[in-house]
A = this chain, B = another copy of it.
Amino acid sequence: MKTIEWIGDSAGHLRLLDQTALPLETKFIDCETTKDLFDAIRRLSVRGAPAIGVSAAYGVLLGLRDIAEGDRKSFDTTFFEVSDYLAESRPTAVNLFWALDRLKKLVKHESELSPLQMRERLLKEAIAIDTEDQEMCAAMGRFGAELIPEGAGVLTHCNTGSLATAGDGTALSVIFAAHEQGKNIHVYADETRPLLQGARLTAWELMQRNVPSTLICDSMAAWVMKQGKVQVIITGSDRIASNGDAANKIGTYGLSVLAKAHGIPFYVAAPSSTFDFEIESGEEIPIEQRDSKEITIGFGKQTAPDGMKTYNPAFDVAPAENITALITERGVIQPVTKQNIAALLNRES
């Protein structure tokens, strides 16, 4: 089942699996305009940093459906407007900016192409981003699976699987790979309040792939660790700073502290596109604050009094010193230092 699919030629449209309807319904959304996609990203119908990046790459084409043949000036203006608009949909997702920047460079570089040729070229690039993402997931799975011991209890947070990427995922790709290698692992999936991506999406993916697993509330993770049921913790990341500080779904920071306190290795799996070399540390990562209702009206039922204040950060940051290793599609970075990160990912201009 494809989570993100471009339908038709370069004037086609984008079909997304509506993640807000899972696990009860398997429903698709057809995005015909960039606003359709912007809204889908905002309400988390598509989510997960790599999936957002791939969606946005296809998404710019939605803003170019009406372009006419002629000179490139008005095409380029429209393209940059569309890109800037989509870049606003999720402020923390670095893959979003990365994908859009890749297209922007291309548009600047391929100035000889006509508008329609340029649109064809952009579709080709979006497909390349999609395919590369699938390959990156597979590579992270291979590298990461070596870190999962036979018989391990593996705790994970949020959703980092085929619903979060174009391929098998980041942290879940590692879990799937270990499972497929025949390692007798058992997964503990945090439900991940407020939006329950763990309960709704990760549990669904784990069941789809027949990986033995148990769903817990976020508040139970520490107790599961204390009881010796967890040998490895692995999460994804939305943005990793030069020093290795990794932003991820709220709750990840706490898990990294608890992992350290219990002597459990804490791994973060993320493709190289997640690394943001423009920032030195996690302190520079802006944290998106989300609507109070996600906490007070969980799934259609009001559970807190009217007027109760909330604090609802979408992300937090696990500091590099709490991360045992970073798992990328190019290999494993351990220990997590600025030098080791740069050495593997090799900035490249």
Please list the residues of chain A having a beta carbon within 8 angstroms of any beta carbon in chain B. Answer: 22-24, 188, 190-194, 196, 199-200, 203-204, 207, 213-224, 226, 250-251, 253-254, 257-258, 260-262, 295-296, 298-313, 316
Contacts and interface: CB of A to CB of B under 8 A. Distances in A.
B194 A193 contact: no
A24 B302 contact: yes
Best-surrounded residue of A250, A302, A311 (most CB of chain B within 10 A): A311
A308 B215 contact: yes
Contacts of A313: 220, 223
Contacts of A224: 311
B311 A207 contact: no
Nearest to A220: B250
Copies in the complex: 2
A215 B306 CA distance: 12
A303 B254 contact: no
A80 B311 CA distance: 49
A222 B204 CA distance: 27
Contacts of A310: 214-216
23 contacts: A190-B219, A191-B193, A193-B193, A199-B308, A203-B305, A204-B305, A213-B308, A215-B295, A215-B308, A215-B311, A216-B310, A219-B219, A220-B313, A222-B258, A222-B316, A223-B254, A223-B316, A224-B311, A226-B253, A257-B257, A257-B261, A299-B300, A301-B301
A249 to B, nearest CB: 8
Contacts of A254: 219, 221-223, 254, 258
Nearest to A297: B299
A258 to B, nearest CB: 6
Nearest to A260: B261
Contacts of A303: 23, 191, 196, 199-200, 299
Contacts of A308: 23, 199, 203, 207, 213, 215
A193 to B, nearest CB: 4
Contacts of A192: 219
A99 to B, nearest CB: 28
Contacts of A251: 217, 219-220, 222
A139 to B, nearest CB: 29
Given A217-B251, A218-B218, 11 more contacts: A22-B305, A23-B306, A24-B305, A191-B304, A193-B219, A196-B298, A216-B311, A218-B219, A222-B257, A223-B316, A300-B300
Contacts of A222: 251, 253-254, 257-258, 316
A156 to B, nearest CB: 13
A300 B262 CA distance: 35
Nearest to A261: B257
Contacts of A216: 295, 310-312
